[in-house]
Structure 1
Amino acid sequence: MQRSGFKRIADPFQLPAPLRGGVVAIGNFDGVHRGHQAVLGKALAEAQRRAVPALVLTFDPHPRTVFRPDVPLFILTPPPVKAQLVAELGFDAMVEQRFTRDFASNSAEDFVIGVLDRGLGISHVVTGFDFHFGKDRQGGPAFLMASGEKHGFGVTLVDAFRDEGAEVISSSRIRQLLTEGEVVQAAGLLGYRYTVEAQVTGGKRLGRTLGFPTANMMLSPSVTLKHGIYAVRFRKADGTLFDGVASFGRRPTVDENGAPLLETYVFDFSGDLYGETCAVSFFGYLRGEEKFDGLDALVAQMKRDEAEARAMLAGVRPLSALDLTVAFP
């Protein structure tokens, strides 16, 4: 659930007047992981110090999908999920600059004048030390700092954030972990449990006949989460949370040729979820997909999965304040 008053804005020139003059954190922020949170935290602190609005400027679609459309990119946080996360951190608005080849062809000076100065009217910018922008990435840290002096805004550059093993936390590293089913390690880098959001759709209702009714969700084809069975928390549209066990994959016992589907058996819930946009947070990988010799064997294994998921979820604790808002009552 998104914090009241938070705004998603599609065009810098549509920024409401009360939000002008703020501090802006710039980046793709896919995943809003702990490294991103270091940048975002600096921006929030600066905005509080100046008593001005706190903004996030991000780009949609992800630049890599524009420059390499033939190479699918696992997007960790689609814009609605990203917006919810930055809202929970305390920002006032997220500006989603549309990224196209035409936009990418603008000079670094055009970006500073058009987006930062005239569009957002910023007083300060915070970004990672390696942020580059403008045609052929001509704008870098030195250019940004010089532009700040010229146009009257401050600049803070944030070093790469490293985990407890001194490795840099990156979106690509988290994508790889999720592709391997390592949702616990991914959560450690994200600072919260990996969460997906989608509309609950109708299915064949086989689970209901087996005593395990499921909420079915089609995820983006870009999601390369490892197929298998997970212990999860399920959040309804009204914010109510339930524990559950979810299968993500092609259902080899009943429909191995189907498209990947996320099917969540929501514990201790009865009701109609069809049409609701719900969220699923992943706490642990239980096992891979298997093809069983008949439905009796499948049901027996589902009962074991339920017991294991209940035991795992009974002992979980929030990783951070953000995790508390995402995956805990």
Structure 2
Amino acid sequence: MEIVNVTHPLKNNQIPGSDIVLIMGFFDGVHRGHQKVIQRGVDLARQKGLKSVLLTFDRSPREIYQHEENYKYISTMERKAELVEELGVDYLYFVEFTSEFASLPPQEFVDDYMVKMRTKYIVAGFDYTYGKKDIANMETLPSFAKGRFEVITVPEQMINDEKIGSSTIKKLILNDRVDYANELLGYSYQNQGTVVHGLQRGRTLGYPTANVVTSKSQLKPSIGVYVTRIEIDGKWYPSMTSVGYNVTFKEDTGVTIECNIFDFDEDIYGKDVRVEWLHYLRGEVKFSDADGLVKQLHKDKEDSLNYFKKH
């Protein structure tokens, strides 16, 4: 898959060399609903002998239109690219979502992007918009297309009578329900980060941890202890991870991600890692002393190992 980074306006050398199926959406998280849309576009492209192109943005439109600050993402651009590539897309276009780009009238966006990119078919979800939703939606797109391409709308995807949506998944991740969030995602949620020096309190307790710092824009799970896996240098290791405030020792560290890696004793400071959140174990507890904490950590490890045996 080739990645193309676009700063408006689209340049002539960024136009595909042949006719395409254009897949549209922001696709934060590339969850099971998004996967239906993307797979529909990829399958159609292969059926028609065309290239599949997915056009998305470098940031959420909500940051521009609603001026949302500290917006949290389910997937970074790099993670989104990985997930999209796994679905067989040929080209991934990231458009820089600036105020200028956001102000494009719907007809100009259709002409300057959809048509200019040699689109024969547009594939998008039922709720995709390209401007004000009452004007620029999937129902009105054929009128803007003017017969130049065909519009294919993928219907709402449901599970347990609930719409699969990024907002729902975010709420689940933030409310101790990462297990169900993973079911809607179709894979286990991840954070990407770097191992940094912490207070090394865990080492004195017999449970050394890798202190993982993520980018501020990444959505972190709710406070608690989780069964996890961690990827180091391309290899995955079973682990348990705490997201918390170090309340037992009253250390003002803010929210930290501390990963105890099972049967592992290597220096990984400065390494880029991924933490995969498999199962929520419990909330954060303030213990009266270190002994109480260690006793609980023994139980957490036992519960984690039992989870891995069952899964």
Cα-to-partner distance string for 1:258-281 (whole Å, 9 max, x where unaligned):
221111111122222222221111
Unaligned runs of 5+ in 1: 1-5, 317-329
> In 2 relative to 1, CA 17–27 (structure 1 residues): closer, same or farther, beyond 3 Å?
closer
Structure 1 match to 2:23: 25
Residue 32 of structure 1 contacts residue 85 of structure 1 at CA under 8 Å; is this kept in 2?
A: yes
Distance 1:69 1:294, change over 3 A: farther
Q: Counterpart in 2 of 1:251?
A: 246
Judge conservation of contact 2:122–2:150 (CA < 8 Å) in 1. Answer: yes
More helix by share: 1
**Normalising to structure 1: TM-score of the pair?**
0.86
Query: Does structure 1 residue 202 correspond to structure 2 residue 197?
Result: yes
Instruction: Give the drift of 1:66.
Output: 2.1
Quote the Cα distance in structure 2 between the aligned partners of 1:98 and 1:299: 48
2:268 to 268, 273, 277: 273
Hey, what does 1:84 align to over in structure 2?
82
In structure 2, what is the Cα distance between the partners aligned to 1:14 and 1:259?
A: 48
Match of 1:179 in 2: 174
> 1 CA distance for matches of 2:18 and 2:70?
36
Match of residue 234, structure 1, among 217, 230, 233: 230
1:125 aligns with 2:138: no
Which structure dedicates a bigger proportion of its chain to strand? 2
Q: Deviations over 1:103-162 (max 9, x none)?
A: 1111111111222232x3323210012212136763222332234344x32221111011
CA positional deviation for 1:37:
1.0
The 2-side partners of 1:201 and 1:194 are apart by 21
Aligned length: 307
Q: Are the structure 2 counterparts of residues 19 and 298 from structure 1 closer, same or farther at C-alpha, using a change threshold of 3 Å?
A: farther
Q: Per-residue deviation at 1:86?
A: 0.8
Structure 2: segments with no counterpart, 5+ residues:
none
In the TM superposition, residue 17 of structure 1 has moved relative to its aligned partner by 6.2
User: What SS class does the counterpart of residue 140 from structure 2 fall into?
Assistant: helix
TM-score where L is the length of structure 2: 0.91
State the SS of the aligned residue for 2:139: helix
The structure-2 alpha-carbon separation of the partners of 1:201 and 1:274, relative to structure 1 and needing over 3 Å to count, comes to same
1:1-329 alignment runs, 5 A limit: 6-11=1-6, 13=11, 20-70=18-68, 72-118=70-116, 120-134=117-131, 138-150=135-147, 152-163=148-159, 165-221=160-216, 223=219, 225-236=221-232, 238-316=233-311
Query: Where does structure 1 differ by over 6 angstroms across 4 or more consecutive aligned residues?
Result: none
CA distance in 2, matches of 1:26, 1:250: 40
Instruction: Identify if the C-alpha distance between structure 1 residues 299 and 78 changes in structure 2 by more than 3 Å, giving closer, same or farther.
Output: same
Tell me the distance in 1 between the aligned counterparts of 2:151 and 2:109: 15
State the distance in 2 between where 1:15 and 1:77 align.
28
**How far did residue 19 of structure 1 move?**
6.1
1:306 and 1:113, CA in 2 relative to 1: closer, same or farther beyond 3 A?
A: same
Q: For 1:266, give the aligned amino acid.
A: I
Q: 1:229 to 1:132 in 2, by over 3 A?
A: same
